[in-house]
Amino acid sequence: MKNIAVLLSGCGVFDGTEIHESVLTLLALAKAGVAYQCFAPDIEQLHVVNHLSGEVASEEKRNVLVESARIARGEVKNVTELDVSAFDALIVPGGFGAAKNLSNFATNGTQCQLSPVVETFVREFALAKKPVGYMCIAPMMLPRIYTNPVGTIGTDSETGHAFNEMGGRHHAVSVEDIVVDEVNKVVTTPAYMLATNIAQVHIGIEKLVNKVIELIE
């Protein structure tokens, strides 16, 4: 049975993993008959956002690994536990956690870097030339991992320009589409960068998951 790693960045669209995107990813993997293991870094979140008010709860602190366990029903491992030989591919759902916790794109823009432990984790898959899928804002991490990666974050011109400025090649596509970088074995989809409802997100994510599985040798 194929086995795919899923990298989470907390729990909640504004400060962690986008919950719909992560759950739809796990559902698509299960429907395809693929085993999966969730991972997350054992680091502190950039900040905590009150998802009801949208305001930063400056007095609160949360841990990315602990928060990711909410989505994974407790079945999540520290990224430092990765044995890349046990996995066929990697999928990274979006949510602002990808730009705030896995990387600092939210604060540093095109000068961003990945969290050191996260960079080590994702580079393992790149070095092993294994397929990966990134969705929503998570593709902004790709230029820090691959050379001249092809990808999409949807149709937002400013973010697409930033992707290009960082060394990527951005393709503007609709919410239900995917972009495939055959050279690097990278699949991307806009998800909630464009979606107005969960049904639209589901279509793109299922395409992404199925294409990542197809790319597994």
Q: Which residues carry out catalysis?
A: 136
Tell me the C-alpha to C-alpha distance, in Å, between residue 22 and each of 4, 44, 110. Answer: 13, 20, 25
Q: Is 98 in contact with 9 (CB distance < 8 Å)?
A: yes
Helix (H, G, I), strand (E, B) or coil at 74: coil
- Dihedral sign, CA of 14, 16, 20, 25? positive
Contact between residue 194 and residue 172 where contact means Cβ atoms under 8 Å apart: no
> CA 16 → CA 49, 130, 150, 197, distances in Å?
9, 25, 25, 19
Contacts of 193 (CB under 8 A, 6+ apart): 94, 136, 137, 153, 154, 156, 159, 175
Residue that has been written with the tokens 């973010």 in this structure: 159
The token pair at 124 is 């393992």
Non-local (6+) Cβ contacts of 30 within 8 A are 36
